[in-house]
Amino acid sequence: MAKDRVDKSERAPTRQAGRTGQARPMAVFMAVVGVAALLTVAVFAGVRVWRSRQGRGPGVAQDSGPARPDFRELGTVASGRPDVTAIGWRPDGARIATGHADGSVVIWDSVTLAELLTSTGKSKQAIDSMSWSPDGQLLAAAHKHDHMTVWNGANGDVVWELDGSDIYAVVGWSEDGRSVKTYNGEEYYALWNVDTRACERSWFVSIAEQGEVVSPDGSLAAWESMAEGRWTLHRTDWQLGGPGGEREWELVGHRGPIHSVSWKGDSSQLAGATDGGVVIWNATSGKLIRSMPVGGPGVKGQGAAGRGATGPGATYVSWSPGPGGRWILAGLDSGTSVVIDADTGERLAEVPTRHRGSSAWAPKGDRLATVGIDNAVHLYGERGK
């Protein structure tokens, strides 16, 4: 039976040859053209879908470069405790500490946003500032009325408390992570050794040096000239008669006073807050690179030139850490804060901040934590990071 079926199928074309012999070449040709057309459509359709996933629509040239990453809210944390008055990231970015108005600290997992521990010391005064030790083992905080508390960051145990001693703010640690650096609010810095429970040393700084902002690599520093909104750069290793060229140079090319500055992570550029928005200077020459008006609420920037952008000026800036430095947080004189693309000035997000000290970038610069008027900590960054 199988052989009969094969024979019939082989004979069928012979019976139809007289009627279809001339049409077959044209049919084959049309079939080939049709398949080619379908493949072409499929290929181009695939390109369009891939580009839309990258944030680009159809018709964009292939060499237009990668799309800028999204910057959006990742979540919030709220413990129900009194107002959050300070915030600080552990150096590895895995933990966030929040200081509160009742003198307590809460430590959170920065990925799951789970509350890990809460601890208090003797002081019930609000925490004004805090800083993690370089190894992430200790957390130091300055309370109102000259009190400092040092906690064990793993279990919340109080390691040391110091009352009085003219401590206005905790501003960092020594490189070995055994001494807390504090500022008295007017003239002096001091190092307090956690092991000996004593002041290692203190040193006087002039009024001008109080505004000094050192570059991440430590080679340059910016400082405000007599609080006039003029800022000067200088080399920190400069010696009279030594090599290296000029000792100091002014930031130029912008209009109006500079309200604050912030360094790019590779120390090559400096961002400033001005009445016209955010400006970027070359660090080694002080010359202006670009101006970026930040626009009014809900208005996106118009790129590096800022064409057509209007709105408030910037009151402070904070450049995201890391050599790439993709984002800049800018406080506006309208009372809001925005995150902009550091290269183009495009406005990426409006973020809730109470004041200049109510925000902190993660050490790698991939996330931003802010304290809103809702007393919650809002976490921002790239989705999926």
Domain membership flag for residue 377: no
Q: Among residues 173, 190, 205, which one ends one of the domains?
A: 205
- Are 164 and 192 within 8 A, CB to CB? no
DSSP element (H, E) containing 11: helix 2-20
Record the pTM: 0.76
Domain membership flag for residue 48: no
User: If you average pLDDT over every residue of the chain, what do you get?
Assistant: 79
The HSE-up count of residue 70 (CA atoms within 13 Å, CB side) is 11
Structure tokens at 175: 């490189």
Q: Provide CB contacts within 8 A for 5, sequence distance 6+.
A: none
Which pLDDT does position 177 carry in this prediction?
96
Total domains in the chain come to: 2
Same domain, yes or no: 250 and 346 = yes
Helices (H), ranges, 103-162: none
Give per-residue pLDDT as tens, 280-294.
999 999 999 999 998
C-alpha to C-alpha distance for 294 and 286, rounded to whole angstroms:
22
Tell me which of 14 and 111 has the higher pLDDT.
Answer: 111
Strands of the sheet with 105-109, listed across from one edge = 84-89, 95-100, 105-109, 115-119
Same domain, yes or no: 236 and 336 = yes
- Which segment, 24-38, 71-85, 111-125, 350-364, is predicted with the most confidence on average? 111-125
Same domain, yes or no: 251 and 319 = yes
Which pLDDT does position 382 carry in this prediction?
87
First to last CA, the chain: 66
Q: In terms of residue numbers, what domain contains 111?
A: 75-205
Same domain, yes or no: 234 and 192 = no
| Greatest pairwise CA separation for the chain in angstroms | 111
Which pLDDT does position 7 carry in this prediction?
37
Which pLDDT does position 290 carry in this prediction?
96
Of residues 291, 355, 333, the one with CA closest to residue 129: 355
Tell me which of 82 and 21 has the higher pLDDT.
Answer: 82
Which pLDDT does position 211 carry in this prediction?
73
Same domain, yes or no: 153 and 260 = no
C-alpha to C-alpha distance for 89 and 361, rounded to whole angstroms:
8
Has residue 189 got a pLDDT over 70? yes
Same domain, yes or no: 146 and 278 = no
Which pLDDT does position 205 carry in this prediction?
74
Q: Quick one: average pLDDT of 92-117? A: 96
Same domain, yes or no: 199 and 238 = no
Domain membership flag for residue 55: no
- Number of residues written out for the chain: 385
Q: Return the residue matching tokens 């952008």.
A: 309
Which pLDDT does position 207 carry in this prediction?
61
Domain membership flag for residue 344: yes
Same domain, yes or no: 216 and 346 = yes
Q: What is the CATH number of the domain that holds 110?
A: 2.130.10.10
Q: Quick one: average pLDDT of 58-82? A: 67
Same domain, yes or no: 145 and 243 = no
DSSP one-letter code for 280: E
Q: How confident is the model at residue 179 (pLDDT cuts 50, 70, 90)?
A: very high
C-alpha to C-alpha distance for 193 and 197, rounded to whole angstroms:
6
By percentage, how much of the chain surpasses pLDDT 90? 56
Has residue 128 got a pLDDT over 90? yes
Torsions phi, psi of 315, nearest 5?
Answer: -100, -25
C-alpha to C-alpha distance for 136 and 127, rounded to whole angstroms:
19
Same domain, yes or no: 283 and 345 = yes
Give per-residue pLDDT as tens, 204-252.
876 655 678 889 999 999 988 766 789 999 888 765 554 555 688 999 9
DSSP element (H, E) containing 31: helix 24-53
Q: How confident is the model at residue 164 (pLDDT cuts 50, 70, 90)?
A: confident
The HSE-up count of residue 33 (CA atoms within 13 Å, CB side) is 6
Residue type, 279: V
- Which segment, 52-56, 138-142, 246-250, is predicted with the most confidence on average? 138-142
Same domain, yes or no: 228 and 182 = no
Q: Quick one: average pLDDT of 362-379? A: 93
By percentage, how much of the chain surpasses pLDDT 70? 73
Could you give the C-alpha distances from 118 to 75, 98, 108, in angstroms and in order? Answer: 20, 10, 9
- Are 178 and 200 within 8 A, CB to CB? no
Which pLDDT does position 60 carry in this prediction?
36
Which pLDDT does position 3 carry in this prediction?
37
If phi over 0 gives left and psi between -120 and 50 gives alpha, with beta otherwise, what is residue 82?
A: beta
Same domain, yes or no: 233 and 188 = no
Domain membership flag for residue 27: no
C-alpha to C-alpha distance for 265 and 36, rounded to whole angstroms:
52
Which pLDDT does position 281 carry in this prediction?
98
Give per-residue pLDDT as tens, 303-359.
333 333 445 689 999 999 988 999 999 999 777 899 999 999 999 999 988 888 889
Domain membership flag for residue 61: no
Domain membership flag for residue 7: no
C-alpha to C-alpha distance for 347 and 336, rounded to whole angstroms:
13
Q: Return the residue matching tokens 């928005």.
A: 277
C-alpha to C-alpha distance for 286 and 230, rounded to whole angstroms:
12
Domain membership flag for residue 183: yes
